[in-house]
Amino acid sequence: MAEEKISRISREIYENVGGTENVNKLIHCMTRVRMTIIDDSKVNFEGLKAIDGVMGVVEDETLQVVVGPGTVNKVAQKMVETVGVRLGETFPHAGEQSIDDLMAQTKAQAKEKYNKPSKFKAILNTISKIFVPLIPAFVGAGLIGGLASVLGNLVTSGTLDAGTWMQFITVLKIIQAGIFYYLALYVGMNAAQEFGATPALGGVIGAVSLLTGMNPEAPLKNIFNGSALAAGQGGIIGVIFAVWLLSIVEKQLRKVIPDAIDIIVTPTLALLVIGTIEIFLIMPIAGVISTSLVGAINTVLQIGGGFSGFVLGALFLPMVMFGLHQILTPIHLEMIAKTGSTQLLPILAMAGGGQVGAAIALWIRLRKDKEFVARVKGALPVGILGIGEPLIYGVTLPLGRPFVTACIGGGIGGAIIGGFGHVGSIAIGPSGAALLPLIAHGKWWVYLLGLLGAYIGGFIATYAFGIPKDIKEKADHYGETVEVETIQPTLHVAPTAEFETATISSPLTGQVKTLSEIEDEVFSSGMLGDGIAIEPTSGQVVSPVDGTVSSVFPTKHAIGITSDEGVEILIHIGMDTVSLNGDGFENFVQQNDRVTKGMLIARVDLDKLKAAGFSTITPVVITNTGDYKKVSTAAHHEIKQGDLLLTIER
């Protein structure tokens, strides 16, 4: 279907439901766009039905506009993209928001245009978005699983009676498995949502990694070495990569598949192509990596001592992240069969201890960020009991550096156990405190010492070196306006002086532009008020009026001035320059300072802004435009500081 048709249908639906401001949420099913309407009286039902491409309208708890299979997903996606949200998210409504909220709403769009984050940070941010919605399930199921592990280990050690406790333990393990055994499905669905693919298809791709339909007696082979593929090989990271490929294939197919058969052909081809790639490429590659890692681990074990303990303890978290730790199970079983215990498991368990220490350090250093602290509080008890996924995917990995320092903590704990030597577990069980009952030959105190070493090592490494600067600044200003592109509404006052026409001089020298030329909807649409924009050729900024400074932003990129006549003027230097956190800006005034026309109020390094990829276009906006009859542009093309810029008619 031609893109212009999709755009037209989307636009006309909005026009007939009272605009985007009359829609609270939007989702779709196989044939219908479903909208939660705020005020039904604003909906033009006859107009909706008359739209070319609309097959019908259904009035229910949600307003349902029928556009047919194959078309509905494209129309719905276009509609949510128009307002900058995703399917199912609440629409932002300009009429209900403060100016702070309006600017925060557009920050993401402006950031895409002007701020170029590193690809590594973008990947970590994506991982965070995929796993954060799963944290409540991680915490609940993890605590239940942790309790099952402690009880199971006590039964194995003979402390508890198996006949009395095993059935209860089994129930707990079944509940725990609901999230952890089928984690690939949940991750697949969330990843699809993040990448713009169909969530159900993402879930199927996640399930493919479990090889559920494979005959164990005739397993699929690793094309690289001929070994049998194992369920879960490739891990969660492999699932995310496969779903990312799915999103690309699905979007391309929808561009070429006719709408009449889209619902049949697109998901079939997408699953067939990506499922095959996942089985025969992604999973085998992970198998090759796992084989290499196991070989490296065996080599390190032969070296022995604290060095081996450090290397193994530090490397285990990356193995968990890639789902490669499952390959170690045969090694554990072989060691137990030959020696009565596995000396590898206690060392590897230290990786979880490093996570715990890192999380506590993050809690302390970022304690002002209440949302983040709540996430840590939920994941910590589970981590202490040996369930590491919430801490890995919800806390340390999304931040990048703390994941590395947590690995260092795990290495320190492993070095302690490796240094003492001969610390083994009589059975395979979860790590953390839950493993204590399984430690053989009374060496539980060495294991506990190693665990404490991992806690302390992870804490110190993270506290000192593991806090990213931008994350710390965000936490320090949590709840404040510095981290989002916000415009603080100045206290509105009625004009204080009688006048027929007020004049605003230019604060800058440069090229005059219209607001519509600004690539930022808040300014270009006149949402903040009428005015003009200047593409500066000089970094000197002077006051355009006699008046009082009403606001100076902490990031120095925007200044508000109220003239003696009561005209409220906003000078916003560049687009999304809040991201520079004041770098390149110098202010010479503070809030409530008295200023006169032509007085130097700020200086900006235009070259630095441009080198960083930011637009230097500077809007000069009358934020109380509604108080006046007309705001007129008095300048065109070139302008110098002090030249007449705007006229205000009372």
Nearest of 538, 609, 543 to residue 576 by alpha carbon: 609
Give Cβ neighbours of residue 218 (< 8 Å, ≥ 6 apart). none
Residue 183 C-alpha from the chain's centroid: 19
Look up residue 31 and give its amino acid: T
Provide the H-helix boundaries in 157-198.
Answer: 162-180, 183-195
**CB-CB contact of 522 with 621 (8 Å):** no
- Cα-Cα-Cα-Cα torsion 123, 124, 130, 132, nearest 10 degrees, comes to -170
What string of DSSP letters covers 17-52?
Answer: TT-GGGEEEEEE-SSEEEEEES-GGG--HHHHHHST
The answer for residues whose C-beta is within 8 angstroms of residue 339's C-beta and 6 or more apart is: 424
Separation in Å, CA 36 to CA 59, 67, 366, 477, 518? 11, 17, 38, 35, 32
Answer for the pair 106, 520: CB distance below 8 angstroms, yes or no: yes
Using CA atoms, how far apart are residues 542 and 539, in angstroms rounded to an integer? Answer: 10
CA atoms within 13 A on the CB side of 620: 34
- Of the candidates 57, 56, 47, 52, the one whose C-alpha atom is nearest the C-alpha of residue 1 is 52
Residues with a known catalytic role = 29
Q: Are 570 and 623 in contact (CB under 8 A)?
A: yes
DSSP string computed for 430-477 = --GGGGGGGBGGGTHHHHHHHHHHHHHHHHHHHHHH---HHHHHHHHT
Measured CA to CA, the distance from residue 635 to residue 191 in angstroms comes to 51
Whole-angstrom distance, CA of residue 451 vs CA of residue 431: 10
Angle between helices 235-256 and 259-277 (to 10 degrees): 150
